[in-house]
Amino acid sequence: MALHITNSLTRKKEPFVPLREGHVGIYVCGPTVYGHAHIGHAKSFISFDVAVRYLRHLGHRVRYVQNITDVGHLTDDTTGMADEGEDKVLKQARREQVEPMELVERYTRSYFEDMDRLNALRPDISPRASGHIPEQIDLIERLIERGLAYTRDGYVYFSIRDFKDYGKLSGRDYEEQEAGARVLVDERKRDPRDFALWKRAEPEHILRWKSPWGVGYPGWHIECSAMSMRYLGETFDIHGGGLEHTFPHHECEIAQSEGATGKPFVRVWMHNNMLTVNGVKMGKSLGNYTTVKDALREVDPQTLRLFFLNSHYRSVLDFSMEAITATGQGMERLRRTVLSLDERARTAADQESHPGFNTLLDQTRRFFTEAMDDDFNTSQAVGELFDLARVVNTYLSAGTLGRKDLEAARKLYSDLGEEVLGLGFQEPGQGVASSGAEDALISFLLDLRGEFRAQKNWAMADRVRDRLAELGYLIEDGPQGARWRRK
Ligand SMILES: [Zn+2]
């Protein structure tokens, strides 16, 4: 079976065929940078990280674009349809008493810092909405020219009535869409469902740009249409995002893009389901809002990553400390198995390959690939790695494997566990997150010990090792040099 993806647009699991053979363009709606990312964001971004990794593993050249929303997302905009309210960035900038762009910079860095710790690959392009205003203005002008948008008082609205396909992604009919538009006693609009492409900036609105319709700023939806098409073309392969953005955000993206170009916008829409905390939807007002930084103070990043991968991206996942503890124990078992393979391979004899063992590895690769081909079924793929670990441990206890077998098993864990799933087996684990400063200090001491060893100053080298051990750090020498972990 080749890769199949559940396409929200057709509501079917379909074989994935890229528009241009060997190349895949993927756009994922990124964070609005006015606060630290929470663990629900992390679930979403890790789902798409694994999708990108797997597409690359299959040999595709992937261009992965994920935007940074730094303008236009309004506070009242839980539905995305509100055209009033404050800009989230401006409001928070006032609260923190910084320039809006200072705030944006702060939380953009914070976001990447979190994603780096969770071992999510950086997107190839991270375009910012505020850096693509001309593209957004161009797109709006095209929509006006094609009779799909109209201007009123410095505002530009998309005219839903004139775009017949509106609703095709979410499957909402007219009444439901109107209900989604809630508020709206807005006399500027011809139809309550119409949404703003451009808004007039009031004097206190300091994020503002000149446009053919006066000084203003873009609506939230238009940035994703403009930036995705700028970098991936007018029709591209995959668009990802949270399920909660299907309507109206993604519906509006389709209307804007297809309205302007007359071409299909996205071939496959992928939607990630939400994270609940102890069975309850996460929300700032509910007091169960957990940032990635808070979570990583108590949870090892690899464990958190594995926790997300243990469920399917289209399922709701519940975060609880019991579930995390269980995952942490699993991660540790897997890590120990992989490190044992490394350790044994260093001293094992060169002997004929164990025939049964090779078959087992081939089978695991096949089952893993079948799971991933089935709409990125990471929970099953992870299960294959655990099943293999159990058998590997039996072989390790029996001591029947030669170097080649051990290395082949290790390679399987690198290819599938590290490369595709993004799990790090080398990193200090034990369910305790380490700080960057700690990493740097221990690495420095290990370098120092390496130099002592190179000078054959064994006494000093051992002193460093023993002293670290007293402090609770175990040092293990491996082919890639010395590693450490907490006892
Ligand atoms: Zn978006």
Taking the centre of ligand 1 as the mean of its atom positions, its distance from the CA of residue 72, in whole angstroms, is: 12
Per-residue confidence band for 432, with pLDDT thresholds at 50, 70 and 90: very low
Taking the centre of ligand 1 as the mean of its atom positions, its distance from the CA of residue 201, in whole angstroms, is: 22
Taking the centre of ligand 1 as the mean of its atom positions, its distance from the CA of residue 238, in whole angstroms, is: 13
Taking the centre of ligand 1 as the mean of its atom positions, its distance from the CA of residue 228, in whole angstroms, is: 9
Taking the centre of ligand 1 as the mean of its atom positions, its distance from the CA of residue 220, in whole angstroms, is: 8
Per-residue confidence band for 78, with pLDDT thresholds at 50, 70 and 90: very low
> For the residues 165-186, what does the mean pLDDT come to?
76
- pLDDT of 400 higher than 80: yes
Taking the centre of ligand 1 as the mean of its atom positions, its distance from the CA of residue 69, in whole angstroms, is: 8
Taking the centre of ligand 1 as the mean of its atom positions, its distance from the CA of residue 432, in whole angstroms, is: 34
Taking the centre of ligand 1 as the mean of its atom positions, its distance from the CA of residue 416, in whole angstroms, is: 30
Q: Specify the pLDDT at position 438.
A: 75
Taking the centre of ligand 1 as the mean of its atom positions, its distance from the CA of residue 373, in whole angstroms, is: 26
CA distance 181 to 114: 34
> For the residues 348-354, what does the mean pLDDT come to?
88
What does CATH list as the number for 328-420?
A: 1.20.120
Domains 4-286 and 328-420 share a fold: no
Taking the centre of ligand 1 as the mean of its atom positions, its distance from the CA of residue 361, in whole angstroms, is: 41
Closest CA to 229 of 343, 143, 293: 143
Q: φ, ψ for residue 414 (rounded to 5)?
A: -70, -45
Q: What is the Cα Rg of the chain in Å?
A: 26
Q: Specify the pLDDT at position 433.
A: 43
Q: Specify the pLDDT at position 185.
A: 56
- Cβ–Cβ contacts within 10 Å for residue 20, how many? 12
Q: Specify the pLDDT at position 187.
A: 82
Alpha helical stretches, state H, 19-155: 39-57, 88-96, 100-117, 133-145
Q: Specify the pLDDT at position 168.
A: 96
Taking the centre of ligand 1 as the mean of its atom positions, its distance from the CA of residue 383, in whole angstroms, is: 33
* β 195-200/216-218 pair status: antiparallel
Per-residue b/e over 237-268, b at no fewer than 16 CB within 10 Å? Answer: bbbbbbbbbbbbbbbbbbbbbbbbbeeebbbb
Taking the centre of ligand 1 as the mean of its atom positions, its distance from the CA of residue 225, in whole angstroms, is: 8
Taking the centre of ligand 1 as the mean of its atom positions, its distance from the CA of residue 266, in whole angstroms, is: 13
Q: Specify the pLDDT at position 98.
A: 92
Taking the centre of ligand 1 as the mean of its atom positions, its distance from the CA of residue 38, in whole angstroms, is: 18
Query: Over the chain, what is the mean pLDDT?
Result: 91
Among 129-138, 181-190, 373-382, the minimum mean pLDDT is found in: 181-190
Q: Specify the pLDDT at position 469.
A: 85
Pull the structure tokens for residue 397.
Answer: 């206890």
Q: Specify the pLDDT at position 471.
A: 84
Domain boundaries, the chain: 4-286, 328-420, 436-486
> Which option is the CATH number for 4-286: 3.40.50.620, 3.40.50.1860, 3.40.640.10, 3.40.50.300?
3.40.50.620
Taking the centre of ligand 1 as the mean of its atom positions, its distance from the CA of residue 42, in whole angstroms, is: 16
